[in-house]
Amino acid sequence: MGQKIIRFSDLTGKHAENDGDLVRVVVLQHPDLTDGPVEIDALAGELGEVRELALDLVTVELHHPDRAEPQTVVMEAEAFDRLASAAPMAEVLRGARPAARAATSGTAVAAGRERVNYASLEHAGRPHKGRTTDAEKHLVQQHLDEINERLAAEGVRTIDLENVEHVTRYGLDTLARETGVMLG
Instruction: Provide the residue ranges of all domains of the chain, joining segments of one domain with +.
Output: 1-53, 55-105, 117-184
Q: With contact defined as beta carbons under 8 Å apart, do 22 and 15 qualify? A: no
Name the pTM for this structure.
Answer: 0.42
Please list the ranges in the chain whose pLDDT falls under 70. 100-114, 184
**Which spans in 47-182 are helix H?**
50-53, 77-81, 89-94, 134-142, 144-154, 164-170, 173-178
**Which spans in 82-172 are helix H?**
89-94, 134-142, 144-154, 164-170
pLDDT, position 110: 47
Query: For 150-172, what is each residue's pLDDT tens digit?
Result: 998 888 899 999 888 898 999 99
